Amino acid sequence: MFNFSKILKALPILSLLMSHHLNAGVNNAWTYLVKSRGSVSSYPNVVNELLEDRLYFTAIPYLKEYLSSSGGRIPSNVDALIDAVVTQVGVRQFEVLPHEILERTSAPIIRYILAKKYFRVGNYEKALKALNGTIPKDHPTKPFALFLEGSIFSISNKTDLAVAAYKNCVRETKRQMNQTRNQNRLKQLSINRDYCTVGIARTEFHGRKYDEATLSYLDLSKDSYVWPEVLFEEAWNSFYQRDYNRTLGKLVTYNAPVMSFVFNPEIEVLKALTYMELCLFDDARKVVDEYYKKYQEDTLAVKKFLSKYGKNYKYFYLLAKSIKGGKAPGNKLLEKLLNSVLKDAAFIELTDSFNVGRDEIERVKALGNSKMRKVFTSNLRESLLLQRDLIGAYVRKSLHLNMDYLDKSFEGMTYIKLEVLGRRKEQLYFASNDVNRSRGDIRYLQRNDKQYFWTFNGEFWADELGDYVFSLKSECDQ
């Protein structure tokens, strides 16, 4: 934080009188700073006044320094201030704080942040302890806390508790959606509602209840923001049901133009694996060969690129910004990866919060008192630079994760290629001379009461996405 204590001590009190045209909140915040001579104990009053003028990002450094300097539990009035700030700026500004600092406050939104941090390191017991009884039903964080709770139960194989938490999450999220008109908030809630809806299906899939999962996945609307990523999960669910034609039908949907932003190399791996299970070895080999041709060279180039820029978060932020502005990076794989990140819910939340912070810049610059303007501009800059770096770090992390996915997918493709060779050799020894190689017949289709049949005319229609089914006969028994 900008060190203004020396400046304040050198200024006569009379020179710090506020101009009558300044906003009352900022004026009062400055008065508290002047009188306290930079004492941290005055920061809650400073934050409270800044919030009167909706200067949330400007207030962040004062809250962080107060939390870091406090030796014991945080007073309840400060908890309320923390809740107010984090609700506006997002949780990631405070996720960077250590556990021991976050443990000092009972602010519901900080308890949620603490639970997320424990969840990420696999300490589910502490994560649940941080959530239990600490977040009131009407609190803005409650829907997200319920999703986290459901995730913890699901990973811990507590299926009934997980499903109950997810259903509760859907109800609470819908209730809060009906009470807000803020578009950013509405977007976040709708995404959370859909993740909770999918959470039920994921829990059933994890518990090997594939028939139940099939029906639960269908509860997610196709206009959902998260539906494209869930389609792949549905394909795996069909694979485990040995409904390989439906698996291929789900995967072919990713060829639709509206799905061009989706990047998931495992789509091709599952496609090749499915062809292999149908003993359609030529198809499996073709998928493998095309995968290597498509990704091998560009993957090496992207890895070299990532190594070159290391942890230059500013660069990765500017890179994402340029892609959003329509500028191509020159590498098709890198461009696809970045476009995928731009559609990511977490990335959108980070940038939405950043835009909230940038809205404060002009208001702070308009302050008439030069000393006050300098101090508050410094604090705002500190918060915005961190937010920028958080965005850049997220972009970088996403790119590295996708490189890991590609490496694993290459391993999977290598296995499939070898397995196809082995099975094909075995098939040649026992092949029948009376083999029917015709492909496709309606009698090979399977469907439940929620699924319908129509003919395929070669086009992708918006309301048909995800409902394609192949009609291939397995050649394993021939």
Q: What is the DSSP string of 5-61?
A: HHHHHHS-GGGGPPPTTS-HHHHHHHHHHHHHTT-GGGHHHHHHHHHHTT-HHHHHH
Query: Looking at residue 12, what is its pLDDT?
Result: 39
Query: Looking at residue 430, what is its pLDDT?
Result: 55
Element (H, E) at 423: helix 370-429
Query: Looking at residue 183, what is its pLDDT?
Result: 86
Query: Looking at residue 5, what is its pLDDT?
Result: 45
Q: Is residue 75 part of a domain?
A: yes
Token pair in block for residue 395 = 């972009």
Extended strands (E) in 304-354: none
Mark which of 99, 116, 150 sits at the end of a domain. Answer: 99
Q: Is residue 187 part of a domain?
A: no
Query: Looking at residue 304, what is its pLDDT?
Result: 96
Query: Looking at residue 466, what is its pLDDT?
Result: 67
Q: Is residue 339 part of a domain?
A: yes
pLDDT digits (tens, 9 = 90+) for 3-22: 444 444 444 333 333 333 44
Query: Looking at residue 368, what is its pLDDT?
Result: 85
Decide if 30 contacts 368 (C-beta within 8 A). no
Query: Looking at residue 14, what is its pLDDT?
Result: 32
Q: State how far the Cα of 223 lies from the Cα of 231, in Å rounded to an integer.
A: 12
Token pair in block for residue 231 = 């389609």
Q: How many separate domains does the chain show?
A: 2
Reported for 109-113, long-range contacts at CB under 8 A and 24+ positions apart, including other chains, are 109/82, 109/83, 109/139, 109/140, 109/141, 110/79, 110/82, 110/83, 110/86, 111/135, 112/141, 112/144, 112/145, 112/148, 113/86
Q: Is residue 28 part of a domain?
A: yes
Q: State how far the Cα of 423 lies from the Cα of 476, in Å rounded to an integer.
A: 10
Q: Is residue 11 part of a domain?
A: yes
Q: Is residue 476 part of a domain?
A: no
Residue ranges making up the domain that contains 368:
294-431
Query: Looking at residue 422, what is its pLDDT?
Result: 86
Query: Looking at residue 427, what is its pLDDT?
Result: 66
Q: Is residue 363 part of a domain?
A: yes
Q: State how far the Cα of 143 lies from the Cα of 131, in Å rounded to an integer.
A: 12
Mark which of 35, 67, 99 sits at the end of a domain. Answer: 99
Task: For Cα atoms 215, 218, 220, give the angle at the middle one, nearest 5 degrees.
Answer: 135
Decide if 217 contacts 184 (C-beta within 8 A). no
Query: Looking at residue 471, what is its pLDDT?
Result: 79
Query: Looking at residue 196, what is its pLDDT?
Result: 97
Query: Looking at residue 445, what is its pLDDT?
Result: 54
Which residues of the chain are under the pLDDT cut of 50? 1-22, 433-435, 437, 442, 449-454, 460, 462
Query: Looking at residue 25, what is its pLDDT?
Result: 87
Decide if 430 contacts 210 (C-beta within 8 A). no
Rounded to 5 degrees, φ, ψ at 27 are: -60, -45
Token pair in block for residue 354 = 């950043």
pTM: 0.83
Q: Is residue 178 part of a domain?
A: no
Mark which of 99, 120, 154 sits at the end of a domain. Answer: 99
| Cα of 332 vs its chain's centroid, Å | 23
Q: State how far the Cα of 436 lies from the Cα of 427, in Å rounded to an integer.
A: 15
- Write the CB contacts of 331 (distance below 8 Å, at least 6 apart in sequence): 298, 301, 302, 305
Residue by residue, DSSP assigns 154-199 as HHTT-HHHHHHHHHHHHHHHHHHHTT---HHHHHHHHHHHHHHHHH
79, 96, 109, 141, 178 from 86: Cα distances, Å: 11, 13, 7, 10, 22
Query: Looking at residue 39, what is its pLDDT?
Result: 84
Query: Looking at residue 239, what is its pLDDT?
Result: 97
End-to-end CA distance of the chain, in Å? 74
